[in-house]
């Protein structure tokens, strides 16, 4: 055997097999939770992934870092001391004059030298309260000791629910309120395809540069409109300890919500993605109220619909379509004239042809009461009368069945 020929051992073959198993590829695939994570990272907001052990949180973060070409720095929060995040005091030549600086840990120094990266704080729910308190400044001010992390560093954390965490603690309210909370769940199709060698690809959202100001205006209008109508939602600390460790509304979390809405609007993200982000920042109740307010902002202007009934387009969702029709009738009631009344009937016919007939019953009944004596009955009423009779007949049949039971 030649002298320069390497000697292969059984472990070399085992390593080759392991390398083949690790060789995977990625593909573009719609994934709402992965898109929500990428959008929050793009907005430079700290994200906290909640999920059971083994669900794939760490794997998702590793794949995200690879896709974004960011060096990944993993810090297991539960095995560190508070001084690892607040810094260790280092006595200089003249402490009375120069003070005692707080020396940062090596991982923070590496991130500053790189100028960019993804800082992954794992096992956050098993970190004791003293460590969580030390993490406050890192998560909010991005400071570790006397060192400030550069803008190119993004922060993502992961935690297990207390019921499944090893010696878990509830997250402290001040720390929880600094995160965007995303519930991480597995998709069996993604897992099966990933085990076959192909995982979904995480990419940063493409923001439309021509719609940035419009996205900001849209977000401010929605958030400020809701908080003006519901001032109690500005700050509402939950009563239960477990709920305080999740998403809840405060001026800080509303500011993050506004930012996420603007980013989602500029990126053209789906409502599912926006729902995950909003509810993960201010909680389910306030988040759902805000989503409803956003839906109303996107409704077409009744005056534009009345000006061009033939070209009107209605939302697909029944509740939004009902709100549009109610708005049209309200606009006619506020400024009634014959042409607007006829246009409203034309809109109801168009809604009847493109959606559920029962949605036009109440608007048609209300619109009929607005008729003046000198206004002729439009032909459109004949086309709507059948739908009204059928709907009322169904309601009456339902009442009879209920009485019989």
Residue 313 tokens, joined: 């387009």
Alpha-carbon distance 377 to 133, whole Å?
71
Q: What is the number of residues in the chain?
A: 405
Q: What is the mean pLDDT of residues 139-167?
A: 83
Residues 186-245 pLDDT 10s? 888 888 888 888 888 777 888 999 999 999 999 999 999 999 989 999 999 988 777 888
Output the average pLDDT for the chain. Answer: 84
Alpha helices in 142-195 (DSSP H): 173-176, 188-195
Reported as a pLDDT band with limits 50, 70 and 90, residue 393 is very low
In which band, very low, low, confident or very high, does the pLDDT at 382 lie, cut at 50, 70 and 90? low
Helix (H) or strand (E) holding 183: strand 180-183
HSE at residue 245, side-chain half, CA atoms within 13 A, is 19
- Mean pLDDT for 235-256 is 90
Beta strands in 136-250 (DSSP E): 143-144, 147-148, 152-159, 180-183, 198-200
pTM for this prediction = 0.77
Q: 33-63: per-residue pLDDT in tens? A: 999 999 999 999 999 999 888 888 888 888 8
What pLDDT, on a 0 to 100 scale, did the predictor assign at position 400? 45
Average pLDDT rounded to a whole number, residues 173-190? 90
Query: What percent of the residues of the chain are helix, what percent strand, and what percent coil, each to the nearest 5?
Result: 60, 10, 30
What are the structural domain ranges in the chain?
27-89+102-200, 209-297, 302-404
Structure tokens that stand for 92 in this block: 């200089």
> Could you tell me the pLDDT band of residue 111, with boundaries at 50, 70 and 90?
very high
What are the two backbone dihedrals, phi and then psi, of residue 225, each rounded to the nearest 5 degrees? -65, -45
User: Taking residues 280-295, what's their average pLDDT?
Assistant: 93
Binning pLDDT at 50, 70 and 90, where does residue 394 land? very low
Half-sphere exposure of 83 (CA within 13 A, CB side): 6
For 362, the token pair is 């109440």
- Confidence label for 258 from pLDDT (cuts 50, 70 and 90): very high
What local confidence, expressed as pLDDT, does residue 96 receive?
62
Checking if the pLDDT of 1 tops 70, the result is no
Instruction: Give 11-38 pLDDT, tens digit per residue.
Output: 888 999 999 988 888 888 888 899 999 9
Give the per-residue pLDDT at 157: 93
Specify the CATH superfamily of domain 27-89+102-200: P-loop containing nucleotide triphosphate hydrolases (3.40.50.300)
- Per-residue pLDDT, 401: 39
Contact 66, 40 (CB under 8 A): no
Number of C-beta neighbours around residue 139 at 10 A: 21
d(C-alpha 66, C-alpha 242), whole Å: 34
Q: How do residues 328-348 score in pLDDT, each as one tens digit?
A: 889 889 998 888 988 888 888
Higher pLDDT, 26 or 1: 26
> DSSP letters along 37-106, please?
HHHHHHTT--EEEE--TTSSHHHHHHHHHHHTT--EEEEEGGGS-THHHH-EE---S-HHHH---EEPPH
Mean pLDDT value of segment 177-186: 92
Residue 325, pLDDT above cutoff 60: yes
In the predicted structure, residue 395 carries a pLDDT above the cut 50 = no
Q: For the chain, give the percent of residues with pLDDT over 90.
A: 33
């Amino acid at each position: 055997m030649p002298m320069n020929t390497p000697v292969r051992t059984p472990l070399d073959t085992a390593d080759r097999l392991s390398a083949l198993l690790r060789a995977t590829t990625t593909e573009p695939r719609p994934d709402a939770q992965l898109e929500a994570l990428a959008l929050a990272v793009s907005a430079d907001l700290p994200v906290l992934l909640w999920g059971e052990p083994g669900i794939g949180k760490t794997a998702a973060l590793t794949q995200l870092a690879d896709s974004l070409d960011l060096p990944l720095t993993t810090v297991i929060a539960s095995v560190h001391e508070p001084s690892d995040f607040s810094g260790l005091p280092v006595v200089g030549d003249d402490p009375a004059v120069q003070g005692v600086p707080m020396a940062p840990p090596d991982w923070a120094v590496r991130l500053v030298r790189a100028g960019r990266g993804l800082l992954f704080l794992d096992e956050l729910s098993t970190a004791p309260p003293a460590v969580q308190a030390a993490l406050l400044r890192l998560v909010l001010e991005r400071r570790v000791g006397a060192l400030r992390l550069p803008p190119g560093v993004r922060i993502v954390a992961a935690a297990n629910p207390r019921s499944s965490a090893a010696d878990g603690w509830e997250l402290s309210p001040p720390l929880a309120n600094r995160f965007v909370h995303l519930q991480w769940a597995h998709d069996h199709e993604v897992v099966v395809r990933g085990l076959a060698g192909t995982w979904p690809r995480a990419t940063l959202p493409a923001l439309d540069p021509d719609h940035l100001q419009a996205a900001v205006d849209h977000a401010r209008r929605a958030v400020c409109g809701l908080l003006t109508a519901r001032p109690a939602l500005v700050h509402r600390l939950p009563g239960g300890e477990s709920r305080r460790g999740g998403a809840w509304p405060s001026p800080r979390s509303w500011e993050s919500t506004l930012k996420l809405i603007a980013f989602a609007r500029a990126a053209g993200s789906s409502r599912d993605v926006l729902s995950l982000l909003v509810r993960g920042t201010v909680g389910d109740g306030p988040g759902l109220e805000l989503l409803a307010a956003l839906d109303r902002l996107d409704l077409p202007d009744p005056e534009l619909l009345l000006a061009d009934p033939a070209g009107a387009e209605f939302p697909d969702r029944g509740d939004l379509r009902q709100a549009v029709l109610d708005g049209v009738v309200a606009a006619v009631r506020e400024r009634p004239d014959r042409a607007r009344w006829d246009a409203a009937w034309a809109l109801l016919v168009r809604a009847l042809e493109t959606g559920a007939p029962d949605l036009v019953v109440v608007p048609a009944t209300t619109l009929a009461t607005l008729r003046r004596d000198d206004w002729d009955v439009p032909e459109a009423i004949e086309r709507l009368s059948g739908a009204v009779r059928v709907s009322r007949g169904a309601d009456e049949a339902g009442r009879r069945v209920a009485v019989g039971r």
